[in-house]
Structure 1
């Protein structure tokens, strides 16, 4: 059904501000035909889980036809469903099931690049004179025969791949099987807009746009691309700083909005590596921007040593003060001028309870604390599948257990090419590898966690015997029911959506304490990011006698049976209070 609305006559809708989004990674959600790969009928069969949780929107990772070089982020046909996931009829049934439950669907739009098996690229690589040649980015070698620039691809190696039929290199910021699309070409942009209309006219409610701030490249006046500054002697140089937030980005996205998005009632979020606060305001401003919100990565990079050969794999312990500073900058800068997305995990990130919490003794407590920390801020919260169960990273026994192209390439380059320690490299993969988020959803304590009747495409976490949805439903104090209560509070109290944010303890190393204020209501958020009890003083500016505890992650009694002191936050404790400003 066409959802066209005349945005020039109706106010711009902002239902997505009140929403909570749940991301499904279809390959790992639920398999119904026993091939070990999650599918669309599997998603349909589990929609009651989402309805019970209370989410408003599903973000569905790619289900398009694809050779699966990068698990579906290499698309060979934007208008068809990959056979391993099902059929278009299966898609239509899934969408109808979501809408019947009041859940909207946000598709993944991957248009910085396509698959090299897409018909556009098959045509483009055949001849310089082919009409599709200009759909992609081609350049001749340098005079010495070397690739056009010194850029390194996201999955290691050069961003340039030689194409013998045309005697040129083509650009690929990711895998060599993911050639970058040429957004300078109006014909390419028109093709993209047609693809968007195809899905919107089927009833889809919006798009998450993959690495969308890379579509505008930094062209020199002569049509060449510049070399990257040398920050690592003897290596290819980081390419993301060269291609993120290019000169025509806002122009392209405004055109997309005018041509497509303004004619539908949509939710849009752009994945934007290296986006600055200024760019965040510019892109998400409701009047002059183009998107509803961004996925920025500042907080995701705080536990990595930037500028090193290891990149994201070079670990450093998180300093809570840095996390608070980053979140506060974005909260304050976008207030009234744009909108934040709130996330701690997705298909590209390790499990948050293993990364930012304690996935051992305090798994349940820290998973709940992280939920309160995130959902208390202003923005649209995102829940990645399994996060609502407190799922953890998988202790991969060897590189043979891994499936992700980024991980496999990193291991090969680190161990085989540079001679680094296999044990240390595997330790980095266990900590930061993308496969941590891609292990099958843990539904039951039974074989293969209830995910499949066959052999799963990637191993199931052994702790599924203890951590699974069936167990969580039965336990009223589970992580699942904690998330459900948080989502209910968001619907009940507008302060969660519209309240003004203020950080109260920016320099504390273990506590995060902040407020959200709307009218005479104040939401006070208390989070202990440590395994040690922390003293807490009630803010003098807030009325203690009017405070109502909306939600906590620990009971009101100590193990001894004594009441827990309100002036002490126990290990990984979090509380949400509703109060008001104290009388003068």
Structure 2
């Protein structure tokens, strides 16, 4: 079976922005490193582990929300967009972290949460004070339906109606997530101006970019019509999928807002110090591509989450990669994600052996990859006892497997007390195998998942073909996925066996030398079970 993907001319000019060849590393700050003994990770903890990240070989850190928050949704309910929550430290701590990261050549990206604030934000406190308050229209207020019920059938992503009744003012307000997270009204120019100033505040402080939370949610249909029912809905999907979010998300007006954000990022960019915007967007491929904007007027990287849920089948993946590459607009740069703070870990979904193959895939495809903390250790989802559940998603719809706590368990650093994460009981339980699966145990083990990641990241730095090179699928059959990366004279072949039986692979003509394998098995022209290899022409 032959699947073609376009050869893409690599951008290796001196003006190519840093993020094109970079590897991003997501840190969930509550769970990375605690420095003050309260069981919750913090900024000083991240600073203490910067050398680990340098040694690992990543280029930039994306830190999930660290702003002041009541923590109804663990930081995604923001009370002050221009501060630091005391649990994580202070603005001075953040400035020190930023300086320390930059001194080591690491960039820092923050998590911007523009769709909604906390209900404790001063803006919302004013908005709900009265119908005539100047900030009333900063949020989405609507009268009850004629029968006294909710204004329409929109459903919260955390289950239940997306409308909350406010007794004092006699109207409903809209919340796409928790009732403690009221949605901002981005059709109001004052809201737009205030939130864009937030970007300017952090850019002026030296932040290198933002991951923009639920970008596609930010504008709603002006008339608030009912969403159509989902004919394929089943209770196991969660209540949010009972309707199709046709009118509550992905409205055309959001692209102008993304364009405003892009212009601000560009205004703060200089050669070699470009600011980057990454949009969280869960949409089908053809709609996702619109978020690049026209003539590069959208976000730099609309997150591509296809690998997370992809059927782990070589032909399926080959077609998916080809379709994605073919769909990219002129100037659009690809990106890939295997996991994040909301989705099951790669090792849980695919098993330990195929998680190694998946890591090689993530770090050798064309584009900017994002690595989720702990995946470099092969962490699996932690088991969270019912009495330790923290995630409001799980608490609202228990038993469906939608909870996110299992992928947010603390990072295991060593086999000491609390895995070296804290001197106190961590806010979430550690994974069951933390005594053997931790940084200290894997650091000096050449066969470990950590050593594999370090080797992969070192190869990316050493070979322009892997960082910015052209991409071409190689014809393969069965469980084999193979492709070639080329940049000038630098040529690399990657061949992955996604199955549990040996499989021959047809390589391009010439003699090839093994650079790296996911297993200790030798390689000639047959891949061992669960083996991925990176090859280079014999010189």
The alignment's TM-score, normalised by the length of structure 2, stands at 0.90
Which residue matches 2:277? Answer: 268
Q: Find runs of 4+ consecutive structure 1 residues off by over 4 angstroms.
A: 10-13, 232-236
Compared with structure 1, are the counterparts of its residues 507 and 549 closer, same or farther at alpha carbon in structure 2 (3 Å cutoff)? Answer: closer
Question: Which stretch shows the higher mean deviation, 286-295 or 515-524?
Answer: 515-524
Quote how far apart the aligned CAs of 1:379 are.
Answer: 1.0
* 1:549 to 2:537 alignment: no
For residues 520 and 285 of structure 1, the distance between their equivalents in structure 2, rounded to whole angstroms, comes to 33
* 1:571 to 2:516 alignment: no
Secondary structure of 1:90's counterpart equals: helix
Quote how far apart the aligned CAs of 1:409 are.
Answer: 1.3
Quote how far apart the aligned CAs of 1:90 are.
Answer: 1.2
Question: Which stretch shows the higher mean deviation, 565-574 or 173-182?
Answer: 565-574
Compared with structure 1, are the counterparts of its residues 328 and 233 closer, same or farther at alpha carbon in structure 2 (3 Å cutoff)? Answer: closer
* 1:243 to 2:251 alignment: no
Quote how far apart the aligned CAs of 1:164 are.
Answer: 1.5
Contact 1:152–1:239 under 8 Å retained in 2: no
Larger RCO of the pair (alpha carbons < 8 Å, separation 6+) = 2
* 1:135 to 2:138 alignment: yes
Which residue matches 2:6? Answer: none
Alignment of 1:27-176 (within 5 A): 27-176=30-179
Aligned length: 517
**Selected match of 1:395 from 383, 407, 424:** 383
For residues 372 and 149 of structure 1, the distance between their equivalents in structure 2, rounded to whole angstroms, comes to 46
Question: Which stretch shows the higher mean deviation, 225-234 or 438-447?
Answer: 225-234
Contact 2:305–2:338 under 8 Å retained in 1: no
Which residue matches 1:254? Answer: 259
**Selected match of 1:513 from 460, 479, 482:** 482
For residues 367 and 227 of structure 1, the distance between their equivalents in structure 2, rounded to whole angstroms, comes to 38
Quote how far apart the aligned CAs of 1:118 are.
Answer: 0.5
Quote how far apart the aligned CAs of 1:153 are.
Answer: 0.9
For residues 404 and 234 of structure 2, the distance between their equivalents in structure 1, rounded to whole angstroms, comes to 28
Compared with structure 1, are the counterparts of its residues 474 and 278 closer, same or farther at alpha carbon in structure 2 (3 Å cutoff)? Answer: same
Which residue matches 2:419? Answer: 449
**Alpha carbon RMSD of aligned pairs, Å?**
2.3
State the Cα deviation string for residues 491-523 of structure 1 (Å, max 9, x = none): 222211333323335763x32222223345542
Quote how far apart the aligned CAs of 1:354 are.
Answer: 1.1
**Selected match of 1:193 from 187, 192, 196:** 196
* 1:384 to 2:372 alignment: yes
For residues 285 and 140 of structure 1, the distance between their equivalents in structure 2, rounded to whole angstroms, comes to 35
Contact 2:20–2:367 under 8 Å retained in 1: yes
For residues 374 and 505 of structure 2, the distance between their equivalents in structure 1, rounded to whole angstroms, comes to 35
The alignment's TM-score, normalised by the length of structure 1, stands at 0.84
For residues 110 and 506 of structure 1, the distance between their equivalents in structure 2, rounded to whole angstroms, comes to 43
Which residue matches 1:293? Answer: 301
Which residue matches 2:10? Answer: none
Which segments of 5 or more consecutive residues in structure 1 lack a partner in the other structure? Answer: 1-9, 304-317, 412-424, 557-563
Alignment of 1:274-423 (within 5 A): 274-280=283-289, 282-284=290-292, 287-302=295-310, 318-334=312-328, 336-356=330-350, 358=351, 363=352, 365-396=353-384, 398-411=385-398
State the Cα deviation string for residues 4-44 of structure 1 (Å, max 9, x = none): xxxxxx99752100111111100001111111111111111
Contact 2:442–2:448 under 8 Å retained in 1: yes
Which residue matches 1:496? Answer: 466
Quote how far apart the aligned CAs of 1:172 are.
Answer: 0.7
For residues 551 and 195 of structure 1, the distance between their equivalents in structure 2, rounded to whole angstroms, comes to 44
State the Cα deviation string for residues 176-231 of structure 1 (Å, max 9, x = none): 11111111011001101111111111111110000111112122xxx333333353
For residues 477 and 140 of structure 2, the distance between their equivalents in structure 1, rounded to whole angstroms, comes to 47
Contact 2:43–2:97 under 8 Å retained in 1: yes
